[in-house]
Amino acid sequence: MIPAVPSAADDPASAEATPARGWIWVQLAIGWLPVWALYSSMILSMHGGPARPAMLIAARAIGVAAVLGVLVLRWTERWPWPRHLSAGFVTGHVVGASMFAASWMMTTNLFEGALNGRLRFTSPAGVVPFLVIGVWLYLAVAGVSYAARATARAARAETTAARSQLAALRGQLNPHFLFNALHTVVQLIPVEPARASDAAEQLAALLRTASDEYRDLVPFRDERAFVERYLALEALRFGDRLRWRLEVDPRAEEAVVPSFVLQTLVENAVRHGAAPREEPTTLALTARIEGAELLIEVSDNGAGAEPGAVERGGTGLRRLRERLAALYGDRAALTANGGPARGFTATVRLPFDPGSDG
C-alpha cells in the first residue's frame, strides 16, 4: 500500500489551525480530499484492479492520517515555534514525526487486517517508503499549523497596532485642542460671558466624544459632525481668520472610515496653515467617491509648508499614515503636497466601504 505525497495535506492542517467551530470538520474533509484522490490513483497505477476497492482502501488510510493529523496539531501547540531554533524543539519534532509515521503504518495495517479477517503487514521493502512519506505528512501538517498561527499572530499585531494608533491620536488631540480651546474660553469670559458659556459646553461635548470613541471605524457622517463642531469652536479663537467650506458626496456619508481621520487632517491644516498667519485662511474639506475608493481631502491656502517638514514637526500625519497601513495595508494611502506660501493639501484614499461601522 503506497501512501500519498505529503504536500496535499496542507489544506486540512490549515483548517485545523483555525479555532474550532461548527463546520471545522467539513473544512478538514475537503482538505484531505486531494490526498485521498492521489492515494487512490497511486494504488490503481501500481496494483491495477477495479477502482472502487482502491478508493475504499485509500479512504481508510487517509482517514487514519487525518485523525493522526489532529494529534500533530496538539503536538505543535506543545512545541510552539521558538524565536531561535533549539535542540529541544528539533528533538521534539523528530520524536513526533517518528511516532506519526509509525502509528500511521501500524494503524493502517491493523485496520486493513481486521477488515480482511487476517493480519497483514507492509512488506519489508515497503516499510521505509511508508515511514518516509509519513514523516513528510507530519511535516506538512506541522508546517501549515505553524504558518496559520503566525498569520493569526500577525493579524492580532496589526489590530493592536491600529488600536494603539487610535489611542495615540486621541491622546494627541486632547492636550493640543484642550489648551487652545480653554484659552479661547478664558479670553471670552470677561467680554462675552454668554459666548464663553456656549464655548465651554461645545468643548465639553467634543472632549466627551473624543474620550468615549473606541471604535476603529465609524460612519463618515459621525466624523464630519465632529469636525464641524471642532471648527465652530476654533472659529471663536481665530474669528475671521479661519473660514472653511465642506463638500461631501451624499454616498460618502455612510462610508466607513477610521475614526478621527478627517479630524487629523483638519487639525493639521489649522495648526500649520491658519495659526502662523494673520490673513484669513480658508480650509476646503471634500469627500467623494472615485470608483471603488473614497477620497478625503483637506486643503488650505495658509502659510504652507513642505510635507516632510510637517510630518517631522508633528505626529498627527505620521501616526495617521501608520494607522492606515495597519488597518488597510497597501489598499489605503495618505499623500501630502505643499510648500512655503503655497498652502497645503492632505489627501487620504480608502477602500469605499458603505457597510456598518465597526
User: Each residue of 241-271: pLDDT tens digit?
Assistant: 999 999 999 999 989 998 889 988 998 898 8
pTM over 0.95: no
Q: Given pLDDT bands bounded at 50, 70 and 90, which one contains residue 21?
A: very low
Beta bridge partners of 351: 293
**What value does the mean pLDDT take over residues 62-89?**
85
Nearest to 268 by CA among 221, 319, 233: 319
pLDDT tens column, 78-90: 888 887 888 888 9
Q: Is the pLDDT of residue 313 over 60?
A: yes
Q: Is the pLDDT of residue 297 over 90?
A: yes
Q: Is the pLDDT of residue 161 over 80?
A: no
Q: Given pLDDT bands bounded at 50, 70 and 90, which one contains residue 299?
A: very high
Instruction: Tell me the three cell numbers of residue 307.
Output: 510635507
- How far CA 195 is from CA of 187, 201, 280, in Å, comes to 10, 10, 22
User: What interhelical angle do 124-188 and 87-116 show, nearest 10?
Assistant: 130
**What value does the mean pLDDT take over residues 56-63?**
81
pLDDT tens column, 322-349: 888 888 888 999 999 988 878 899 999 9
**What value does the mean pLDDT take over residues 261-286?**
90
Nearest to 237 by CA among 196, 282, 208: 196
CB 28 within 8 A of CB 84: no
Q: Given pLDDT bands bounded at 50, 70 and 90, which one contains residue 119?
A: low
- How far CA 211 is from CA of 63, 180, 205, 308, 314, in Å, comes to 55, 17, 10, 30, 21
Q: Given pLDDT bands bounded at 50, 70 and 90, which one contains residue 169?
A: low
Give all domains of the chain, ordered by start, each with its CATH number: 6-155 (no CATH), 215-351 (3.30.565.10)
Instruction: Tell me the three cell numbers of residue 179.
Output: 489648551
Q: What is the DSSP letter of 63?
A: H
Lowest-confidence segment of 24-28, 38-42, 197-201 by average pLDDT: 24-28
Which helix (H) or strand (E) covers residue 11, if one does?
A: helix 10-17
What pLDDT does residue 28 have?
55
Beta bridge partners of 335: 347
Cα 80 to its chain centre, rounded Å, is 22
Task: Report, in angstroms and rounded to the nearest whole number, the Rg of the chain calculated over CA atoms.
Answer: 32
- How far CA 344 is from CA of 32, 303, 324, in Å, comes to 57, 8, 20
Q: Given pLDDT bands bounded at 50, 70 and 90, which one contains residue 122?
A: low
Strand pairing report for 242-248 and 281-290: parallel
Which helix (H) or strand (E) covers residue 296, if one does?
A: strand 293-300
Which helix (H) or strand (E) covers residue 284, if one does?
A: strand 281-290
- What percent of the chain has pLDDT above 70? 78
